A and B are shown apart, each in its own frame.
Chain A
Amino acid sequence: MNTILLQNLVTPNVSLQAVLPEMIVAFTGIIVMIYDSFMPKQRMVTGALSLIGLAASAFALFSMWGEAPASSWNGMIANDGLRMSFTLVFLFVSAMTILISTVWTERENVPIGEYHALLLFATFGMMFMAAGNDMVIIFLGLETLSIATYVMAGLRKSDLKSNESAMKYFILGSFASAFLLYGMALIYGATASTNITQIASMVGKANFPALLLIGGAMLIIGFGFKVATVPFHVWTPDVYEGAPTPVTGFMAAGPKASAFASFLRVFVIGFPLVSGAQASAFLHESWVTALTVMAILTMTVGNISAIVQNNVKRMLAYSSISHAGYAMVGFIGAGVAKTMQDRDEAIAAVAFYMLTYAVTNLGAFAIVTLIAQKNDRRTEFDDYNGIGFKSPVLAFSLSLFMLSLLGLPLTAGFMGKVLVFRPALEAGSTLLTVMVVIAVVNTAISAYYYLRLIVVMFFRERTTSWLEPKVSGALAAVLIITILGVFYFGIFSDNVIEKFSGKPSVQSAQIK
């Protein structure tokens, strides 16, 4: 009797060490929250605490990097390249956001402790989304992230736009979560597992193959919402414009990357092409085709909408939509990769792309935040007229970020694009080649609005007075880091890519 019970009892293989980076961030968040409730408004202290927490988490992450790919917690937590590289992106984004926010939080008297705690919880959620090798964990992470970001979007309580932004984000986000959850349930119904590795081994012999397809469709909708692909992008411009600028920067860089991490894991790793199994073939073909069409739409709609914008924040919001489209090109490349190694390299390319985008975008948002002033007053293109030679440091940095977003050689954006386009091109399929061509054409189109900002800054006369904003120490640090980052990733991309793809995914390691 006893022995039977013991056999049935699943011993969770608890390994705190395997989730150490996440734990550190979560605990830091709790400490910041508690500290804030006793000694409120200690901007420096909570900020410093958060940064220390993030740094410690990064340290823990690096110490895990050398370990062999494995999964723990009964396969719920993965320790592979996908998790490592994306987590690094999140930690970076978080730390930069804290530094960028110093200007804004001071200016507008934001409940600073809360803000830092929320940011840390959001980061924790993102990390779980990348680490989760189980749909339950992924959903848990996603919700933790979402709830924190809903609140952050509405942090400027007195501002109607900010409130509206939070409300819209919340309602539509819940709507999308429902799809996601339903999709997960259907997949569970088809494969009798929520574990990605298990699902991958079951797609070829699913109990109810049709359910797989419907579940896959639902998941695409849910994740598509989070990464803001067309047609599930409609929330983005309003939410991004209404949210406080640093939060917008964060949302465009962090949560988007985390959604990509889970999206990649579920589809590329969870729904592979199993030879000889029709259901798997259909599922693979349909998701690759659907995502290809979505990627094409996403880049194109994002770009064309960005062209007609007169507000810099809104322009960046639409540009972030098109960048999601470019990243999806790499995603699809990973989906059609012929060997495990190619697949891992493509995944690393997407992570690298998100890193380059984060670096560039956060730098741009730092400057936009600085110029925006209280209540985001100065965010129109006209507000940038002729500041080029009045504030050369800001203008030149912003120009650099625009050029990187555009993808000029020697900048991070260029290498990012090259790396994500390559796997899709190597697949040799007509549809994917067309997609890459469209992506390149889109890059050319995007030159219009990125260069427009540079033109406005340097070649327009300024009619209103220009008060140069003071660059604080924290912001100077952000600018230095991001500018160096843009060049480093543009010139020494090999070092990073090697690191990212040096650790294969759990599944490919097991297969070997």
Chain B
Amino acid sequence: MTENNFLSLIIFAPLVGAAINGFLGKRMKNELFSGVVACTAVGVACVVAFMIAFGIGTPHAGALTAASEGKPVLDHIWTWIQVGGFRADFGLGMDRLSGIYVCFITFVGLLIHIFATGYMHGDSGFYRFFAYLNLFMFSMLTLILADNYLLMFVGWEGVGLCSYLLIGYYIKKDEARKAAKKAFVMNRIGDWGVLMGIFLTYSLTGSISFFDKTVDGEKVQSVFSWISQNVMTADPFTWGAIIGGGLTSIGVLMFIGACGKSAQIPLFTWLPDAMAGPTPVSALIHAATMVTAGVYLVVRSNAIYQLSPTAMWIIAIVGAATAIFAASIGLAQNDIKKVLAYSTVSQLGYMFLACGVGAFTVAIFHVMTHAFFKALLFLGSGSVIHGMHHEQDMRKMGNLRKYMPITFATMFTGWLAIAGIPIFAGFFSKDEILYKTFAADSYFPAGAFPGNEILWGIAVVTALLTAVYMTRMMVMTFWGTERFHDEEADVHAYMEHGHDDQDAHADDHSDEDEEEHHHHLPHDFKPHESPWVMTVPLIVLAFLSTVGGLVGVPYAMSSLVGAGDVNVFEHTLEPVIAKVGKNEAHSEHSTTEKKEVKHFFAETKGAATSEDHGGHSPEVIFKERMLAVFSVVIALLGIGIGWFIFQKDPLRKMPKILEDKWRIDELYNGYIVDPLTKVSREGLWKGFDVGFIDGIVNGIGHLVAALGGVVRGIQVGFVRSYAAFILFGALVVIGYFIYYGFKLIG
């Protein structure tokens, strides 16, 4: 355990930025000021985060370096609550997991902040936007760096609030307001689960801390070390375990929260709607950072999950189902941001699938690579939307590579990354997930993971769909004919189209654009490339999307080129993943891997010597390689299908049911929202509120009036009445005591 007081700088720098913009921004009315303040705040957080993570200029070993031996860097800011045995600190901790998170969040966040200064240029609420954005960074970093569940929940709620504020940023747009509300309500459902999970965790383990630590001379045991010491056997793999009140219950409750935050079935419909917010927000909150908080929660609690196979199984099923479901919807969307939104939901599904099959490190790996390429794609789409004067409909784009070369080039890498082309970041992480899913039963106690082949099949189909819809998006946007003048070319079509358009998209524009035009672009309209503040972040992210995956190349592949074990990422995260309940009923593979882990950390240098890999048996490596080849084929196949279909006919009509998002919203409205509204209106409001509550309130009023007022009757204002009342009370009290007096005497 190492103390570092600079840790708090990471969270407080954005808070200060938010405060400055929030309080002074309106008065300054200066975009340069607001932008510089916001970017500096995140920049400071970013620099400090990297310094602490890698031990640059700090007295202790960096949290992510091998020299730290997996020990977290802690900062106890103050004791928040200490009542009886309950203890919650306002304390931060950076271990391997939060270290990785913080680094990519601050870095990607910084890039998106810079991008946003260009994207939001000219917006009347510029300062407000950056105040919210900084506040979001503060909340997100609090969530990640919190050293206990309760403080994490503060951040959890904070990001929910900021997400609400930013989705509803264009407050004049009805759609944005509704989307904000929807996001908030759905997240609340999830928050309930998290809270219950935390309560249950505390009542089971007597702790909510993530780390073993010593505060004010008092030893605090973490939840996870309590579990490893006291829980010897995993929960049974039964439905009953869910309501058993044990670890499985905690796991399921927390996963409900993760579903809300990370938009999994059934709580996913808010995320696509959330695209009503400004595009940098979609990139930052609804792609790279906040929505992965659910994955963080699950991985952070992996000690709990590893002992609750039922919860794991549910996570895997939900993750896989969400992945393929969202991918199928993404296939048929015409709004460029909606495609990316469903793609995000689908990718989040992958991450949960990885968690569910026990591949926690891979889940985090995918979180990180996804943050790179999805932020890139979103910012790219933002750049496109910016260049197209806030047009988001891909049917009106086409051939943009001619006008926006940099955006095109960068998004091209993002496309390859998400599709899973080797070398690009997405390939390694996605391929790992596929492989671990396929091999899931070998990671689980025997018989505990039924259906892994089916899950693998779903994941493969999803990979295919991903490649197809991404290709469709790229083709519709950057290739083909220029369609932004189509309306002018065909007046009739324009009339028809324009109408649809107004209905469907009248709200899609920021306030200052609303009066601009009716969505037909001027005759001499030419899309333009975005300014450098927008393209530079794109280039940086493109670079990361290309090479970012190399930190986690699995042995099976790195050994192909004779590089030995270079999977730095997995080894970095190893100390975070609890080694519980893995003692028996295990395949040879994992046992040997466990030995390897021990060995690895005995040699703190982290040098990868060949003997470390005695555990990688040739058959396993061969299987992994074969599967990798297979997934590359799948990716290429997907791109090929997409290319040949949509290159020919970019406006090809997609199945209606997919375009309508499987009518899930209608389903929810019809079966949940409407009945709920009805019950609330007819039952709760008219019946309970008007009838019962108002009845009570009015009843009290009537009672008071009718009796001359019990209350007012006493408060007549005459001193003599008051004295009499006091005397009466006095007699009662004295009488009561005299009763005891008599008991005493006689």
Contacts and interface: CB of A to CB of B under 8 A. Distances in A.
A238 B715 contact: yes
A224 B711 CA distance: 19
B626 interface: no
B312 to A, nearest CB: 34
Q: How large is the interface on B (under 10, 10 to 19, 20 to 34, 35 or more residues)?
A: 20 to 34
A307 B698 CA distance: 12
A217 B737 contact: yes
Interface in A218-232: 218, 220-221, 224-225, 230-232
B719 A172 contact: yes
B700 A175 contact: no
Nearest to A415: B81
Given A168-B719, A308-B704, A491-B80, A221 B733 contact: yes
B725 interface: yes
A285 interface: yes
Given A237-B715, A308-B704, A231 B725 contact: yes
A279 B744 contact: yes
Given A168-B719, A237-B715, A308-B711, A210 B82 contact: no
Most buried by A among B82, B725, B741: B741
A278 B744 contact: yes
A214 B726 contact: no
A160 B456 CA distance: 86
A356 to B, nearest CB: 15
Contacts of B725: 231, 234
Given A213-B744, A234-B715, A422-B83, A172 B722 contact: yes
Contact of A238 (B717, B723, B736, B743): B717
B680 to A, nearest CB: 20
B83 A231 contact: no
Contact of B726 (A175, A279, A491): A175
Secondary structure dominating the interface of A: helix
A172 B78 contact: no
A235 interface: yes
Given A179-B730, A232-B729, A238-B715, A213 B722 contact: no
Nearest to A216: B737
B579 to A, nearest CB: 36
Contacts of A289: 736
Interface string A263-303: 00000000000000011001101100110000000000000
Nearest to B82: A494
Contact of B736 (A168, A217, A235): A217
Contact of A232 (B704, B726, B737): B726
Given A231-B725, A418-B83, A210 B741 contact: yes
A286 B78 CA distance: 43
A213 B740 contact: yes
A218 B80 contact: no
B696 to A, nearest CB: 10
A231 B729 contact: yes
A305 B711 contact: yes
Contacts of B744: 209-210, 213, 278-279, 282
Given A221-B729, A221-B733, A234-B726, A307 B80 contact: no
Interface string A323-338: 0000000000000000
B245 interface: no
A304 B697 CA distance: 10
A171 B719 contact: yes
Q: How large is the interface on A (under 10, 10 to 19, 20 to 34, 35 or more residues)?
A: 35 or more
Contacts of A231: 725-726, 728-729, 732
Nearest to A287: B737
Given A216-B737, A422-B83, A282 B743 contact: yes
B740 A285 contact: yes
Interface string B706-732: 000001001101010111011011101
A225 B704 CA distance: 25
A172 B727 CA distance: 11
A167 B719 contact: yes
B701 interface: yes
A492 interface: yes
A217 B733 contact: yes
Nearest to A286: B740
Interface string B253-268: 0000000000000000
Interface string A153-164: 000000000000
Contacts of B728: 231
B493 interface: no
A168 B719 CA distance: 6
Contact of A290 (B79, B711, B723, B736): B736
B734 interface: yes
B738 interface: yes
Nearest to B154: A410
A308 B700 contact: yes
A290 B737 contact: yes
Contacts of A237: 715
B602 interface: no
B668 to A, nearest CB: 30
Nearest to B80: A491
Contacts of B738: 213-214, 217
A175 B737 contact: no
Contact of B79 (A214, A224, A494): A494
21 contacts: A167-B719, A171-B723, A172-B722, A209-B744, A210-B741, A210-B745, A213-B737, A214-B738, A217-B733, A217-B738, A218-B734, A221-B733, A232-B726, A232-B729, A234-B715, A234-B725, A290-B737, A304-B711, A308-B700, A492-B78, A494-B79
Which 4 A-B residue pairings sit nearest by Cβ, starting from the closest? A231-B729, A217-B737, A210-B741, A213-B741
Given A224-B729, A308-B711, 20 more contacts: A167-B719, A172-B723, A175-B726, A176-B726, A213-B738, A217-B730, A221-B730, A230-B729, A231-B729, A232-B726, A232-B730, A234-B715, A234-B725, A237-B715, A238-B715, A282-B740, A282-B743, A289-B736, A307-B700, A308-B700
Interface of A: 167-168, 171-172, 175-176, 179, 209-210, 213-214, 216-218, 220-221, 224-225, 230-232, 234-235, 237-238, 278-279, 282-283, 285-286, 289-290, 304-305, 307-308, 418, 422, 491-492, 494
Interface of B: 78-80, 82-84, 697, 700-701, 704, 711, 714-715, 717, 719, 721-723, 725-726, 728-730, 732-734, 736-738, 740-741, 743-745
